[in-house]
Structure 1
Amino acid sequence: MSAQQSQGIQTLLEAEKEAAKIVQQARQYRVQKLKDARSEASKEIDEYKKAKEDEFKAFEASHAGTTSNAQNAVDKETESSLKAITDSYTKNKDNVVKKLLDRVVLVEPELHRNLRAQS
């Protein structure tokens, strides 16, 4: 019987070793799957980030033209207003200077309204 018992014990030890190998392989498989899942998630995050950056750049480019067009319109309007003011200045400066000189030089003396004629 002792041979049968030792053979039974030997079989149990071999089964235990085989079970330990299977458990170790399962742990390694689980660790590898976690690494693969992290790697895949990282790739998805990078792809999503790149897609959003491209979308933002497209949005920015489409609206940058609008800002440029608005700036050009404002510049043209300012330039035309400035030209109109300059033309008006050039046209009327002689008349204004003449009126100012007439007011300063041609003074007609008169009595103040509060001064009463004394009788």
Structure 2
Amino acid sequence: MKKIFFYYIEKNIKRMHILNQLRIYRSINLMNYIFKKIYILLPILLHYNHPLIPGYISDNIPYGIDNFYPNKKYLSLLTKNFNIFIKKKYFKYNNPITGIYSMGSISSIGQNKNSDFDIWVFHQI
């Protein structure tokens, strides 16, 4: 009985991830260029703490997203937009930011080209 229960839980988690990827894909396709750029750069801006990146305050603030490993696309955006070269291997374990969630109308039936988006950033204390 337990095996069947866990099978359905695992199956539903996979379905949820597929649905979430579809929602992200659809919302990105509705965004204008600037909005799309911000949406894609946001994880990188929260992951690295570098004086050349907008939003830098000091070395004493929490930065780094747990289990986020930027690929070449993210790193090239960082280089292209901020002229910062960071090695792919640069990451640390147990990063304080545990999740970034988009809220509001994004990827819902209410989203349109004039929509904004709200985010929640969860971090360890």
Q: TM-score, normalised by structure 1?
A: 0.26
Return the structure number with greater relative CO, CA threshold 8 A, min gap 6.
Answer: 2
Q: Give the number of the structure whose residues are more often strand, by fraction.
A: 2
Q: Which of these two proteins has the greater Rg computed from alpha carbons?
A: 1
Q: Give the number of the structure whose residues are more often helix, by fraction.
A: 1
